[in-house]
Amino acid sequence: MATNGMLASIRQLPGVGEKRAAVFSRLHIATLGDLLSHYPRTYENRKTCKRIIDLQHEETTCIKAVVFSAVKTSVIRKNMRVHTARVSDGTGFLDLVWFNNRFIEQKLKKGETYIFYGKVRLSPKRQMQTPLFEVPGAQKQTGRIFPIYPLTEGLSDGFFASCTEQALSLLQGQITDTLPQKVREAYGLCDLETALQNIHFPTDRTGYESARRRLAFEELFLFQSALLTLKKNGKRASTASMSASPLPFIQSLPYALTNAQERVIREITADLYSSTVMNRLVCGDVGSGKTAVAAAAIYTAVKSGFQAAFMAPTEILATQHYKSLSVFYANHGIKIELLLGSMSASARAAAVERLASGESHVAVGTHALFSEKVTFHSLGLAITDEQHRFGVNQRHLLSQKGENPHVLVMSATPIPRTLALIVYGDLDVSLIDELPPGRQKIDTFAVTEQYRKRIYTFIQKELDAGRQAYIVCPLIEENEALELQAATDYAKKLQESVFPGYSIGLLHGKMKNAEKDAVMAQFKNGELQLLVATTVIEVGVDVPNATIMLIENAERFGLSQLHQLRGRIGRGEHKSYCILINQSKHEAAKERLLVMQEQSDGFKIAEEDLKQRGPGEFFGTRQHGLPDFKIVNIYSDMPLLQETTRAAQDFVEERLTCTREEKQALYEKMNALFNNRVTFNKNFY
């Protein structure tokens, strides 16, 4: 066995050959350590036997009984054989039933006593269906609290549990703890071996709870230590020390900044002036004016003699930022380049050349901008917009590019403070918690199908008055082809039978970037009155004349996503309306949508969303910045988070006494957390 037994292959286990190992690999289990960190999803109490006389209809339990008649097999139809046996424990009898089980006749012996575990029915017949059974004294799957795992085809609970049990006994006394002893002592946590033993085979509730606490603590502690280490390592000496004032830019704006915008610009400027590199997140609700804040930062960088890069998740957004900056800097002598994947090679080469020579000051583009060979003359500031779409990995790839610029991240996903610790624990955070004045509240209505006619009439009235409208298509989970079909059909139907004579455009994720841009441009300049779209419009496109958004099947969206979508309207001088059509009959769905009707504060909506759906759903499958925690439940483990934050801070600030081995174990785990793409312990070994 390898020195670290946790790294030994599961092939070590009896019964696990090539075939089984392949099945395990579908669960991402290759080593004994992987196996032991595949935790049960639930447990069954198979500890005690009930008397037959006491059995309840439909309960699942153990009985201890003697087989009273040999197994009888009857063929009830082709390919369907039923085996029955009658058992008794002196208080009553029960018939046991199996289907198509070739071995049962040999295995179950008349006159012998067994422990049976299964689901009981008392009517119409007194039966236990397909029970598992064991000989008393040689029990493995009964007589204990039994773990039930999330499994895949080809693995049974019994086999899996026997594997974990054998792994635990193979590794007995060899499981090195991954939490430093001082941390375990300070927070009252059991050692890893005990925790693993108890999470797989708890003997009682207390054992289970202390195991769970210890494992969840470790998971959070590691993740937070990793983020805080990144934050600390990010505090490198800056080579781009800046000194220009953003004031001339601010004074040239057509509006006065909000207090929140001013405060955040001050925070950013202080970072840019300081001697360490900035790593800051600006978090602000949709419409809070993040672009102007970014523009002020870029202005400061350029006027201090540096270049800046501004990265957006889509070409539409990059183009929009490019246009905004062009207007902002019209009289400031700042030269901007737009870099898109869809540009011609020669146009791009020319732009790249102007950036490399320092002739141009700012590069705006999608993140292709950074992955390709764009070199700067003197990059001093890198801004990424709508960061909730990128994970920690991507964030740090950028800052590891060698240029070492100041980094500003902008997010429009308001997230609860507590969660920010986990998602953005590696950054300093600035909040724009105020909207520009004069923004009217968007009137929001959650309605049923019955109102459709009236809604269409209302939309027509607004279009006739010169306004524009978005219609967001039914969301079809994870199926782009279906979603596309639905959007296309729906747009066609609207054009033919509801809005003939109006100009309708269609926007969806499968379109080429150039097509998307063309449609968006048409909508923006008013050629299109109505835009039927999938959720591709959720990110940041600014059309102030659009005043209505109708969202179909609103019950299928998360609240935060609805809020994000709604942020596309209410951006101009006209009153705006958001209509949510709810197709669900469930009371809960109705109540959820009422939150949208009443609440316009993105942070409050985010908190409500998190509470209702839990973090996985909250961030959506495609856009979360959270790791896949194995045991932590972000919502219910919030109290634990305070303790782990403290412990992680102590570790990273080196206030914690731990041995070299303990540190090394932690660093190894931290590296693995980000698939070794970010290294935490460069100077350690």
Residues that bind Mg ion (CB under 5 A): 540
Q: Which residue is nearest to Mg ion (CB)?
A: 540
Looking at beta carbons only, is 189 or 432 nearer to Mg ion? Answer: 432
CB of residue 613 to ligand ADP, shortest distance in Å: 24
- Peptide linkage before 500 cis (omega within 30 of 0): no
> Residue 494's CB: how many other CB atoms inside 10 A?
19
Which member of 141, 291, 319, 534 binds ligand ADP (CB under 6 A)?
Answer: 291
Instruction: Report how many helices (DSSP H) and strands (DSSP E) the chain contains, helices first.
Output: 23, 22
Give the Cβ contact number of residue 621 at 10 Å: 9
Classify 122 as helix, strand or coil: coil
Nearer to Mg ion, 269 or 564 (CB): 564
CA atoms of 523 and 65, how far apart (whole Å): 76
Is 287 near ligand ADP (CB under 6 A)? yes
- Looking up tokens 């870029």 gives 298
Residue nearest to ligand ADP (CB): 289
Task: Look up residue 66 and give its two tokens.
Answer: 């003697």
Residue 549 DSSP SS3: strand
- Picked from ligand ADP, Mg ion, none, the partner binding residue 258 (CB below 5 to 8 A depending on kind) is ligand ADP
Please say whether the beta carbons of 412 and 567 come within 8 A: yes
Q: How far is the CB of 562 from ligand ADP (least distance, A)?
A: 16
The reply on whether position 255 binds ligand ADP by CB under 6 A is: yes
- Name which of 234 and 540 has its Cβ closer to Mg ion: 540
Q: In this structure, are residues 425 and 228 in contact, taking their beta carbons and an 8 Å threshold?
A: yes
- Distance of closest approach, residue 415 Cβ to Mg ion, in angstroms: 16
- Residue choice 288, 387, 399, 561 for contact with ligand ADP (CB under 6 A): 288
Among 147, 416, 540, 615, binds ligand ADP (CB under 6 A): 540
State which H helix or E strand residue 392 sits in: helix 392-399
Interface with ligand ADP: number of residues (CB under 6 A): 17
Question: Which residues, other chains included, contact 58 with Cβ-Cβ below 8 Å and sequence gap of 6+?
Answer: 119, 120, 121
Token digits of residue 447 = 């309605």
C-alpha distance across the termini of the chain, in Å: 24
Per CB under 6 A, the list member of 131, 284, 313, 405 interacting with ligand ADP is: 284
- The answer to whether residue 436 forms part of the interface with ligand ADP (CB under 6 A) is yes
CB of 540 to Mg ion, least distance (A): 4
Among Mg ion, ligand ADP, none, partner that 286 touches (CB below 5 to 8 angstroms by kind): ligand ADP
**Residue 165 corresponds to which amino acid?**
E
- Least distance (Å) between residue 539 CB and ligand ADP: 9
Given ligand ADP, Mg ion, none, residue 434, with its beta carbon under 5 to 8 Å by kind, binds none
CA of 90: how far to CAs of 52, 68, 94, 113, 264, in Å?
Answer: 8, 11, 11, 12, 78
Binding of residue 246 to ligand ADP (CB under 6 A):
no
369, 317 in Cβ contact below 8 A?
A: no
Region of 129-137, 288-296, 487-495, 662-670 interacting with ligand ADP (CB under 6 A): 288-296
* Binding of ligand ADP by 558 (CB under 6 A): no
Residue type, 199: I
Closest by CA position to 552, among listed 576, 509, 532, 582: 582
Q: Which of 85, 132, 230, 286 binds ligand ADP (CB under 6 A)?
A: 286
Contact with ligand ADP (CB under 6 A) among 21, 30, 155, 257 = 257
CA dihedral 32, 33, 38, 44 (to 10 degrees): 70
State the chain's maximal CA–CA distance in angstroms: 99
516 binds ligand ADP (CB under 6 A): no
Is 261 an interacting residue with respect to ligand ADP (CB under 6 A)?
yes
Q: For ligand ADP, which residue of 142, 166, 197, 258 counts as binding (CB under 6 A)?
A: 258
**Closest distance of CB 290 from Mg ion, Å:** 5
Show the tokens assigned to 18.
């090539």
Partner whose footprint covers residue 289, from ligand ADP, Mg ion, none (CB < 5 to 8 Å by kind): ligand ADP
The residue within the footprint of ligand ADP, chosen from 289, 380, 416, 558 (CB under 6 A), is 289
Q: Where on the chain is the footprint of ligand ADP (CB under 6 A)?
A: 255, 257-258, 261, 284, 286-292, 412, 436, 540, 542, 571
